[in-house]
Structure formats: C-alpha cells, structure tokens
Structure 1
Amino acid sequence: MKAIKDFENKKVLVLGLARSGEAAARLLSKLGAIVTVNDSKPFEENPSAQALLEEGIKVICGSHPLELLDEDFEYMIKNPGIPYANPMVAKALDKGIPVYTEVELAYCISESPIIGITGSNGKTTTTTMIADVLNDAGQSGLLSGNIGFPASEVAMTASEKDKLVMELSSFQLMGIDRFHPHIAVITNLMPTHIDYHGSFEDYVAAKWNLQNNMTTDDYLVLNFNQDLAKELANKTQATLVPFSTREEVDGAYLSDGNLYFKGEAVMAADNIGVPGSHNIENALATIAVAKLLGISNDVIAETLSHFGGVKHRLQSLGQIDDVQFYNDSKSTNILATQKALSGFDNSKVILIAGGLDRGNEFDELVPDLIGLKKMVILGESAPRVKRAADKAGVDYLDAKDIQEATQIAFREALAGDVVLLSPANASWDMYRNFEVRGDEFIAAFEALKGE
C-alpha cells in the first residue's frame, strides 16, 4: 500500500456503510484522516458501526442530519448506491466538497496495476474469468470492487506483483477523479439503472468515466458487436482492443467456431465451460486481456474450458433425475435473460421469471420465449410477464415465491429438461437482493435433491 499523505489530518465524511463504507473508513483512519461515519441504520442494529466505534472512529447512526455537513469536511466518500439527489450528497456538492466512492481510494493507495471491468451485463463473469486466467498463469489476479470484495480493502494488502481485477459499477464510476486502470474492459452498454441515472446518455457517461485518465500506454477492450462502442472508440486516448462475435477485428473474435486473437486461434468456442452466446463475448474479452498480458493460449484454453460460472450468473447447480438446474438470479433485466436463454434448446426449458415491477412491458423478450416448454411466474411484475408469455404462446403457472416456483418447475420437468431461474427482473419486491433470491433457489434445489 502506498503511504499517501492526501488525507492526513483531513476531515472526511463516510456516508453509508455496508462493506465498502466500512473498508473506506478503516483505510482513511489508517491514512491519518479524521473520519466520521454516517449511516441511516440505527446504531443498536448496526454491527459495522459498533465495530468502527470500538476502533476509535466517530459514528453517527439512525439518520442523515444535514447540519453534519457544517463541520468543514474536506472530502465525502459515499456508498455507491446512494444517489446524487440525496440531500446529504447534494449539500456536499453545493459546498464544493469532493464526493468520491471508495474505488478512488483504492486507486490512490494501490501498488498494483488495475484491470477495470464494467458493462451492463457480463461484468461479473468476465471479471472472474480474467482473474482465473491470471492466477492459472501465475500472475496473481486479485478480485475486487463490485464483485463483493471492497477495492480499498484489497488494495491495502496488494503488492506490485499483483493485479487488481476490479469489477466496477456505473454508481462507483460516478465517484472517481484520478482513477486510472492500465487495462479497461466495457463488456456492453444497454439501458439499465435509468431510474438512478435519469437517462441512458448519463448512464453511458458514467461507464465511460472508466477511461478518462487512460493514455496510449493503456488498453481499452470494447465490444464491437455494438455500434455505440464503435462510436465511443473514437473518443478515448487509450489503445483500442476490440472484440466481436460478428466480424473479424484487430483484437479477439469468433470465426468458424473458434476464438481468435489477432489472427491466432486460441480455442474452440464449444469448449467454454459455460453455455450461451453471451459467454462467448465474455471469453473474448478475457482472451483480449490475457493476450495483452502475455498469457499462453494453452493456459487460456485450459482455464476457460473448466470455468464453472459465477454464483447467481447462469450457475450450474447440478441434476436431479436428469433434470439440470441453472441459477441465473443475477439476470435482473430483459437482456440478461435473453442471453441466458440463448444457450439452451427452448423446448427443454422451464423458465422461472418475474420480480420487481418497474412499469416496463416485456415485449422485447417475446421472441426469446417462443418454444419454451413452460414458465413459472412470480412477483409484482407477474401480470406483465404473463402478457409476454401469452404473446409467445407459452403456458405458465403461478408461484408465490422462489421455493414454490422451484418445486413447480421440477414437477413439470422430464429427464433431459432444464429448470432455469432467470427472472428478467430485480428482486426487491420479495428479496433483499438477487443473491438472497438465488440462495433460496439453491436451497430449494438442495431440498429436492435430498427427497
């Protein structure tokens, strides 16, 4: 960890805890900052705040008092999920206080080069693939960021021999200033989180912040399946490395069933360990990064062929009576479910879908639903999902929760079928997050397996 003086004796407000806020508070304290933590959760129900207080860090819990910002803070580090319209954040900005997310802190102290991965879909899988390939090649890729390991926490112990393989959300990327990855990947850009950003243009702008400080000595890996990426490619100083499943590009591409990098065959597409056309894109992005780092084709092919997926992202749970179960709880939008379905024969699939009602219809999903064996539908958005099923000519059944949906789906399945949880909706109508939803699916699978 770099012994920086930027925050020494500076008053810093950490707004919002969770894992990233807790990590940021500890790091700032270690850097000599005068830290105050403010979290909405009451102190008596807040183990993180209790632990920080025991370590000598000031904590204010239960509300976000605006008068707190009259204490002449020089920086605010906010939880990525807190919107900029939040009164505390808005007041900080009005007062000219820089507002960062903790990935900016991670960059400031990191001795390790950073590989930053963002995108609307596929970023968790791609991040994990890249780290696995690096580790199998002996290059020590450390998972960090939005994937569940706070970047500032990982950066504290990483050395110059490591590489931080950092998943980055649009929320995190809105709060950076000097952040500078050596290699950056944007998997794709699709309309999502518009409720947070206000418009697709603002969402894209947040993602594009990833490359703001990159130079010609750095590499930006872009998905040339998208015209938008081709347009953005002209607006960066970084050295461009495209990937595509549709055309031969000066980077990584699919041709005649094989994955290539700059004309050199790396592996067969069918050998990737997880199904779906989207995972071919993820593998191509991974290959681009790996080849930039000098990793051999043999290591890349071996790692990707044994890649078992990421928990909650088209995760194979196994079989019961020759019925295969896949947990794709992280598919919280239509595109993600479209990509999941692309890897299967619809006539064998029983799809579990539905969740938070965001007011959108599912007409875009209709072509991908055609031919499904059956659907099990649940959640607030059930009436809208049912309309899509009707348009696709797919029979469906109702369920009150994931446990019941899993039981119904298995009851309807025959040997050779697939039970796929890929909701196309966020989870917040019924579950705290997609992880909890996916964990209930896993638990339901295990219960059926034990019967």
Structure 2
Amino acid sequence: MKHITDFKDKKVLVLGLAKSGESAARLLDKLGAIVTVNDGKPFDENPTAQSLLEDGIRVICGSHPLELLDEDFALLVKNPGIRYDNPMVARALQKGMPVWTEVELAYLISDAPIIGITGSNGKTTTTTMIAEVLNAGGQSAKLCGNIGYPASSVAQEATKEDILVMELSSFQLMGVQDFKPHIAVLTNLIPTHIDYHGSIEAYIEAKWNIQSQMGPEDVVILNFNQAESRELAVRTQATVIPFSTTEKVDGAYLEGEILCFKGEPVMTVSDIGVPGSHNVENALATIAVAKWFGIDNQAIKEALSHFGGVKHRLQYVGKINDISFYNDSKSTNILATQKALSGFDNSKVILIAGGLDRGNEFDDLIPDIQGLKKMVILGQSAERIKRAADKAGVSYVDATDIADATRKAFALSQAGDIVLLSPANASWDMYANFEVRGDLFLATVDELKEQA
C-alpha cells in the first residue's frame, strides 16, 4: 500500500457504515486523518460503531445532525447507497466539500493495477470470470469492490505483483475524482436505478465515470451489441477493445459457436461452464482482458469451462430426481430474466417469478416466456406478471413466498425439467435483498433433497 500523506491531520467525515464505511474509516485513521463516523443506526445496536470507538475513532450514531457539517471537514466519504439528495450530502456539496465513495481511497493507496468492471447486468459474473482466468494464467488477481470485499481493505494488502479486479456500481462511480483503472469493462447498459439517478442519461454518465481519467495507455472493453456502447467508444481517450456476439469486431467476438479474439479461435460456446447468451457476452469480455495480459488459450478455456457461476447469478444448485435447480435471484429486472431463459429449452422450464411492484408491465417478457412448461408467480407484481403469462399462453400457479414457490415448482416438474428462480423483480416486497431471497431458495432445495 502507498503510505500517502494527503489526509494527515485533515478532518474527514464518513457517512454510513456497513463494510465499506468501516473500511474507509479505519484506512483514513491509519493515514493520519481525524475521522468522524456518522451512522443512522443507534449506538447500542451498532457493534461496528462500538468497535471503531474502542479503537479511538469518533462516532455519532442514531441520527444525521446537519450541524455536524459546521465543523471544518475537508472531505466526506459516503456509503454508495446514500443518495446525493440526502440532506447531509446536499449540505456538504453546498459547502463545496468533496464527496467520495471509498473506491477513490482504494485507488489512491493501491500499489496494484486495477481492472474495473461495471454495467447493468453481468458485473459480478464477469468480475469473477476475469479473476479466475487471470489466476489460471499465472497472475495474482484479487477480487474487491461491489462484489462484497471493500476495495479500500483489499488495496491495503495488495502489492505491485497483484491485480485488483474490482466490481463497480454506478453509485460508487459517482463518488470518484482521480480514480483510474488500467482496464475498464462495461458489460452492458439498460435503464435501471433511475429512481436514484433521475434519468437514463445520468445513469450512463455515472457508469462512464469509470474511464474519466484514462488515457491511450489504458483499455476500455465495450459491448458492441449495444448502440449506447458504440456511442461511448468515441468519447474516451482510452484504447477501445470491443466484444460482440452479433458481428466480427476488432476484439472478442462470436463466430458460429466459436469465441474468437482478433481472428484467433479461443473456445466454443459449449465449453463455457454456465449457460445463457449473457454468459457468452461475459466470457467474451473476459477473453478480451485475458488476451491483453497474454493469457494462453488453454488456460482461458480451462478456467471458463470449470466456472460454476456466482451465487444467486444463474447458480447451478444441483439435481433432485434428475430435475435441475438454478438460483438466479439476482435477476431483478426483465432483461436479466430474458438472458437467463435464453440458455434453456422453455418446454422444460418451470419459472419462479415475481417480486416488488415498480409499476411496470411485463409485455417485454412475453416472447421469452412463451412455451414455458409452467410458471410459479408470487409477490406484489404477481397480477402484472400473470397478465404477461396469459398473453404468452403460459399456465401458472400462485405461491405465498419463495419456499412455497420452490416446493410447488418441484411438484410440477418431472425428470429432465429445470426449476429456475429468475424473478425479473427486486426482492424488497418480501425480503431485505436478493441474497436473502436466493438463500431461502437454496435452503428449500436442500430440504427437498433430504426428503427425496
């Protein structure tokens, strides 16, 4: 880690804890800053705040007093999920205070080069694929960022011989200033998180912050299946390497069933360890990174062939009586579910779908659910999904929760079928997050295995 002096004796406010907030507070304290942590959770119920206080870091819990900003803070580091119209953040910006997320700190102290991966769908899978392929090729890749390992913690341990493979959300990328990855990957762009960003244009600009400091010596890997990415390609100083499943490009592309890089066959679609057209795109982006590092084709093929997916992202769970189970709880929008379905024969799929009602209809999903064996529908959005199922000619049953849905899907299936949890909706009507929803699916499958 670089022992920088930028923060020595400067007052810094860390707003919001969780993993990234704690990591930022401890790092800033180590760098000599005078740190104050402000978290909404009451102190008595906040073991992280208690631990920080024990280590000599000032904490203010239970509320967010605006008068706190009357102190002479040089910087505010906020939790990525806190919106910019939050009163504390808005006041800080009004006062001219820089507002960062902790990935900026990670960049400033990192001895290791950074590969940054962002996009609407496929971030976590692509991030994990890249790390596994690089490690298989003899590099030392370390996962961090939005994937669950705070970047500012991992960066402290990384050396010049390592590579930080960092998943980045639009929320994190809004809070960067000098952040500069050596390689940036943009998996795809669809309208999402508009409630946070206000418009699709603002959302895309947040994502595009990933390359704002990059130059010709750096690389941006873009999905040329999308017009939006093609338009962005002319708005960067970095070297652009495209990938595409629809045409031959000067990068990574699909030719028939062969994944190629600049005219060189690398592997076949059937070699990829996880199904779905979206995973072909993820693999192409991974190949583009791997070839830049000089990884040989055999190492790429072996790593991607053994890739078993990521928990809650089209995760293969196993079989019961020759019925396969897939956990795709991370599919919180229509496009993600469309991509999940693309990897299967619909006539054998029992799809579990439904969740938070955001007011949208599901007509875009109709072509993708046609021919499904059955649907099991639940959640606030159930009536809207049923309307799409009726139009698609698909029969369905109701479920009260994920456990009930899993049991009903299993009861409706027979040998050779696939039970797929791919909700096309956020989880917040029933569950705290998609992980909780997916874990309940996994637990129920385990119960069914014991009973089989």
TM-score for both structures, normalised by structure 1? 0.99
SS at match of 2:148: coil
1:29-108 matches, cutoff 5 A: 29-108=29-108
Show the counterpart of 2:184: 184
1:404 aligns with 2:400: no
Root-mean-square deviation over aligned CA pairs: 0.5
1:218 partner letter: D
Q: Which residue of 2 aligns with 1:140?
A: 140
Match in the other structure for 2:8: 8
Aligned to 1:388: 388
- Tell me how far 1:69 sits from its aligned partner: 0.5
Shift of 1:120: 0.3
- The residue identity in structure 2 corresponding to 1:301 is K
What's the secondary structure of 1:386's corresponding residue?
A: helix
1:125 match: 125
The count of aligned residue pairs is 451
Q: Look up the SS of the partner of 1:291 in the other structure.
A: helix
Deviation by residue 1:239-290 (Cα, 9 ceiling, x = unmatched): 0000000000000000021010010010111110000000000000000000
Deviations 1:175-231 (A, max 9, x none): 000000000000001000001000000000000000000000000000000011111
> Residues 391-436 of structure 1: CA distance to partner in whole angstroms, max 9, x if unpaired?
1111111111111100000000010000000000111111111111
The separation in 2 between residues aligned to 1:49 and 1:320, in whole angstroms, is 45
CA distance in 1, matches of 2:124, 2:448: 28
How far apart, in 2, do the equivalents of 1:41 and 1:396 lie?
Answer: 42
Structure 1 residues 297-320: Cα deviation after superposition (integer angstroms, max 9, x where no partner) = 010001001100000000000000
Shift of 1:138: 1.7
Name the SS for the 2:234 alignment partner.
Answer: helix
Q: What is the CA–CA distance in structure 1 between the aligned matches of 2:319 and 2:156, rounded to whole Å?
A: 41
1:361-372 matched pairs, under 5 angstroms: 361-372=361-372
Q: Pairwise mapping of residues 140-159 of structure 1 onto structure 2 (< 5 A)?
A: 140-159=140-159
Letter in 2 for 1:397: V
Aligned to 1:424: 424
- The aligned amino acid for 1:125 is T
- Structure 1 match to 2:226: 226
Q: Which runs of 5+ in 1 are unaligned?
A: none
After superposition, the C-alpha distances for 1:353-392 in whole angstroms (9 at most, x for unaligned) are: 1111111111111110101111111111111111111111
Question: Structure 1 counterpart of 2:413, which letter?
Answer: A
* Matching residue's letter, 1:411: A
Per-residue CA deviations over 1:99-152 (Å, capped at 9, x if unaligned) read 000000000000000000000000100000000011111211100000000000
> After superposition, where does 1:153-168 map in structure 2 within 5 Å?
153-168=153-168
- Unaligned 5+ segments in structure 2 are none
Deviation at 1:44, TM superposition (A): 1.1
**Separation in 2 of the partners of 1:64 and 1:381?**
34
Query: Is 2:257 the counterpart of 1:257?
Result: yes
TM superposition shift of 1:30: 0.4
- The one-letter code sitting in structure 2 at the alignment partner of 1:131 is A
- The 5 Å alignment of 1:294-309 reads 294-309=294-309
Q: State the 1:444 CA deviation.
A: 0.4
Find the counterpart in structure 2 of residue 335 from structure 1: 335
**What is the distance in 1 between the residues matched to 2:302 and 2:96?**
51
Q: What is the CA-CA distance between 1:51 and the residue it aligns to? A: 1.0
Partner Cα separation in structure 2 for residue 193 and residue 352 of structure 1: 23
Cα distance in 2 for residues equivalent to 1:337 and 1:98:
38
Structure-2 separation of matches of 1:9 and 1:294 = 44
Give me the whole-angstrom Cα distance separating, in 2, the residues matched to 1:417 and 1:196: 39
Distance 2:28 2:155 in 1: 13
Q: For the residues of structure 1 that align with 2:293 and 2:114, how far apart are their CA atoms?
A: 12
SS at match of 1:235: coil
> SS at the partner of 1:379?
coil
Q: Distance in 2 between matches of 1:405 and 1:44?
A: 38
Q: C-alpha deviations, 1:27-71, integer Å up to 9, x for none? A: 000000000111111111111111111111111111111111011
Tell me, what secondary structure is at the counterpart of 2:329? Answer: coil
Which residue of the partner structure matches residue 208 of structure 2?
208
Q: CA deviation at 1:326?
A: 0.1
Instruction: Give how far 1:4 is off.
Output: 0.5
TM-score if structure 2 supplies the norm length?
0.99
Write the distance in 2 (CA, Å) between the matches of 1:120 and 1:185: 12
Partner of 2:359: 359
Give distance in 2, aligned partners of 1:398 and 1:56: 53
SS class of match (1:14): strand
Q: Distance in 1 between matches of 2:67 and 2:304?
A: 53
Structure 1 stretches of 4+ moved >2 Å:
none
Amino acid at match of 2:252: A
Deviations 1:317-360 (A, max 9, x none): 00000000000000000000000000000010000011111111
Comparing 172-181 with 375-384, greater Cα deviation is found at 375-384
